[in-house]
Amino acid sequence: MVGSRTLTAVVGLLVSLLLTAALWWYFDTLLVFLFLPFVPFLFRGLGGDDGPTIVQECPHCGFQATSDAYDYCPRDGSRLESTDR
33 with 58, same domain: the answer is: no
**If pLDDT is split at 50, 70 and 90, which confidence band does 18 have?**
confident
12 with 36, same domain: the answer is: yes
Chain-centroid distance, C-alpha 3: 20
Residue 77 has pLDDT above 70, yes or no: yes
Using alpha carbons, select from 77, 60, 80, 61 the residue that is nearest to residue 69. Answer: 80
Which domain range does residue 34 map to? 1-45
35 with 69, same domain: the answer is: no
Average pLDDT over all residues of the chain: 80
Q: What percent of the chain has pLDDT over 90?
A: 9
pLDDT tens figures, 40-69 = 666 666 655 666 677 899 999 988 888 888
